[in-house]
Amino acid sequence: MHAAAPAALIGLALLTTTALATDIPTIVLNALPADYRLAAGQSVYVENDGRCPSDEVMQVAGTGIRPEDMPKISCVARPR
């Protein structure tokens, strides 16, 4: 009965590895989210609105769970 568990875990590990290795396109939003609400650790790319050098985009990252926790905005190279 316990012999099936390792096989199931190996299958799950292979599925997860395959999913992570798949090329997923990165989406760059046209504008900041209207309410700036992002979960802690969540981040999005946003087209440059003049805050960054012309060849970069903004990376907006959630910093907390309270509404007053404003996201952190960084200038980064455009993701590929």
In 1-80, the DSSP E strands lie at 28-29, 43-46, 56-61, 72-77
Within a domain: residue 48? yes
Q: What is the pLDDT of residue 66?
A: 74
Query: Where does residue 12 fall: left (phi above 0), alpha (psi -120 to 50 degrees), or beta otherwise?
Result: alpha
**Does residue 59 fall inside a structural domain?**
yes
Please check whether residue 12 lies inside any domain of the structure. Answer: no
Would residue 55 count as lying in a domain?
A: yes
* Structural domain span for residue 60: 25-80
* Residue 46 contacts residue 32 (beta carbons within 8 Å): yes
Per-residue pLDDT of the chain in tens (80 residues, 90 and over written 9): 445 444 443 333 333 333 444 566 788 999 887 776 787 888 899 999 999 999 999 999 888 777 677 888 999 999 88
Tell me whether residue 20 is in a domain: no
Whether 68 maps to a domain, the answer reads: yes
The answer to whether residues 52 and 58 touch, using CB atoms and an 8 Å cutoff, is yes
Evaluate whether residue 49 is within a structural domain. yes
Asked whether residue 75 is assigned to any structural domain, the reply reads yes
Region at 34 (left for phi over 0; alpha for psi -120 to 50; beta for the rest) = alpha
Question: How many domains in the chain?
Answer: 1
